[in-house]
Amino acid sequence: MKMKKYLVRPGHRASLDHVDPDDASLVKDKDYAVKRFLALQTRLAELQELLYATHETKILIVLQGMDTAGKDGVIRHVVASFNPQGTRVESFKQPTEEELDHDFLWRVHRKVPGNGEVVVFNRSHYEDVLVVRVHDLVPKNIWKQRYGQIQEFERMLADNGTLILKFFLHITKDEQRKRLQKRLEDRTKRWKFKKGDLTERKLWKEYQRAYEDALSKTSTQWAPWHIVPANHKWYRDYVVASILVDAIERLRLKYPKTDVSGIVVK
């Protein structure tokens, strides 16, 4: 599949410099991508109905990226293709006192999908090898061992019937500047802006290094990462939807057999 160019191959080093956030090379032009995306939305809806009907497999979608990278946009445009009845979006804020009393994956495990369900993590357990590292919130020996713990956690989910797909939405620092400025200038989006966004922006290089390590150490056969060029929102959505459709189709889901012989609706 052509989308494999964005796959972080297990066992290989991820390099954000080698993926151009402006890349749109897999389509002829924007019009083609938008038209194809509409067809992908329809197909995603069909596949989710199959997933819900079979009630055996579950899907976990992990979205990560710098501020303004487009996590909410993917949810609005791609994930919106799914029936809300079988879909949840979860996000993980600063841990509560109860959550801090447990291992870092405790609160995450409680939110994973059940049979027939699609769950989207808008930020995720990966914050515990990103934010905590960049801001030195826990010792290095603690966050370093979490890569292996995440691998084993995701393997356990996969072994129990969870399809896991992880997307890093890749934008440039200049594109982030433009998007933050638009938030300030648009009264309807100004509420999204936080002064803390500027603090995090100053740590851009540190986050890039932390992401490269996380992507490199946790992209596996059972839970692969894709680095998605995200400067162009229309291309970002097309890529994510394409990868989702291909992965779910490979599950070869079929509607459950039912015996309706002799039944007549009067």
**Per-residue pLDDT tens digits for 205-226:** 999 999 999 999 999 999 999 9
pLDDT score of 42 more than 90? yes
- pLDDT band, residue 54 (cuts 50/70/90): very high
| pLDDT score, position 1 | 65
- Calpha distance 18→28 (Å, rounded): 21
Q: Give the mean pLDDT of 133-143.
A: 96
Q: Give the mean pLDDT of 170-198.
A: 92
- What contacts 51, CB < 8 A, 6 or more positions away? 57, 58, 59, 86, 116, 118, 248, 253
Q: Give the mean pLDDT of 95-100.
A: 93
Architecture of the structural domain at 2-249? 3-Layer(aba) Sandwich (3.40)
Q: Give the mean pLDDT of 245-257.
A: 94
| pLDDT score, position 69 | 97
- pLDDT band, residue 8 (cuts 50/70/90): very high
Q: Give the mean pLDDT of 86-99.
A: 93
- pLDDT band, residue 193 (cuts 50/70/90): confident
Q: Give the mean pLDDT of 169-197.
A: 92
Strands in 58-65's sheet, in edge-to-edge order, are 87-91, 118-122, 58-65, 162-170, 225-229
- Calpha distance 50→256 (Å, rounded): 9
Q: Quick one: tokens of 41?
A: 């939305």
| pLDDT score, position 240 | 98
Q: Give the mean pLDDT of 176-182.
A: 95
- Give Dmax (Cα) for the chain: 70
Q: For the chain, give the mean pLDDT.
A: 95
